[in-house]
Amino acid sequence: MKKGLVILGAGLILLLISGAAMAQVKNPAMIRTAYSAMDANGDGVVTVTEHAAFWQGRFREIDAENDGKLTAAEFNAAEKRFFGDMDTDDDGALLAKEYIAFWCGPKALEPAKSKAKTKTKKKLDANKNGKIGDDECVAFWVAEIYDVDANQDGKVTSEEYMAAMAAAFKEIDKDRNGLISIEEHAYFISKKAGAAKK
Ligand SMILES: [Ca+2]
Ligand SMILES: [Ca+2]
Ligand SMILES: [Ca+2]
Ligand SMILES: [Ca+2]
């Protein structure tokens, strides 16, 4: 009986490993973007509610110890995974089109070069209609990329990204106790969407 369980366990682990290996395969057509995960009901529109629910789910995944708080190590590990998922051509740098495809979906287009450089920070739901439109999403991420791309060469390297995420950790950790609580995270996400009341 015990032996059977061990074999079963080993089989399960193998299954998990092969599943993980398959998920690693980079195929732009098959990759599950944040956008497709966010649009929970698949109607092609990401609402502020779906956006918040997506991040609640990510928080639970990232919180490896499941204690409702994220350590810097948990946060950094998750951000490294996001970087890898966004870098669909695996060249170690993120271009605006990679960011936009990942966060805003395949229909969202990178704006023309002249419009791309903007320092103006916008909310995801800038017009506050409860929906994150493609144009709103693109405008938000273009401004975000401008911030993260420290040397302004149009490419976000892993170093630039992780440096920006270290700064983001400090921003999210409002009470500065070195941990991001569910509440701190939810507040940050709602502020980003434009739905914060406080
Ligand atoms: Ca939807
Ligand atoms: Ca890339
Ligand atoms: Ca750069
Ligand atoms: Ca905290």
Confidence at residue 67, expressed as pLDDT on a 0 to 100 scale: 96
Classify residue 19: in a domain, yes or no: no
- Please state whether the predicted TM-score (pTM) of the whole model is above 0.75: yes
Residue 94 CA: which ligand is closest? 2
Q: How far is the CA of 196 from the centre of ligand 4 (A)?
A: 18
Q: How far is the CA of 153 from the centre of ligand 3 (A)?
A: 5
Residue 158 CA: which ligand is closest? 3
CA distance 17 to 13: 6
Classify residue 26: in a domain, yes or no: no
Classify residue 155: in a domain, yes or no: yes
Classify residue 14: in a domain, yes or no: no
Is residue 2 over pLDDT 80? no
Classify residue 157: in a domain, yes or no: yes
Spatial neighbors of 21 by CB under 8 A, at least 6 apart, are none
Classify residue 18: in a domain, yes or no: no
Structure tokens at 145: 């990329």
Is residue 188 over pLDDT 60? yes
70 or 109, which is more confident = 70
Confidence at residue 123, expressed as pLDDT on a 0 to 100 scale: 94
Q: What is the pLDDT of the chain when averaged over all its residues?
A: 86
Confidence at residue 107, expressed as pLDDT on a 0 to 100 scale: 84
Confidence at residue 24, expressed as pLDDT on a 0 to 100 scale: 46
- pLDDT tens digit sequence for 140-161: 999 999 999 999 999 999 999 9
Confidence at residue 23, expressed as pLDDT on a 0 to 100 scale: 47
Contact between 190 and 196 (Cβ < 8 Å) = yes
Confidence at residue 10, expressed as pLDDT on a 0 to 100 scale: 55
Classify residue 57: in a domain, yes or no: yes
Q: How far is the CA of 46 from the centre of ligand 1 (A)?
A: 4
Structure tokens at 45: 């529109």
Q: How far is the CA of 43 from the centre of ligand 3 (A)?
A: 35
Is residue 167 over pLDDT 90? yes
| Mean pLDDT computed over 74-92 | 96
CA distance 63 to 170: 17
Domain interval for residue 177: 32-193
Number of structural domains in the chain: 1
Q: How far is the CA of 173 from the centre of ligand 4 (A)?
A: 4
Q: How far is the CA of 169 from the centre of ligand 3 (A)?
A: 20
CA distance 31 to 82: 12
CB-CB neighbours of 68 under 10 Å: 14
Find the range with the poorest average confidence among 19-33, 40-54, 95-109. 19-33
**Residues flanking ion ligand 3, Cβ below 5 Å:** 149, 151, 153, 155
Q: How far is CA 72 from CA 69, 83, 194, in A?
A: 10, 16, 25
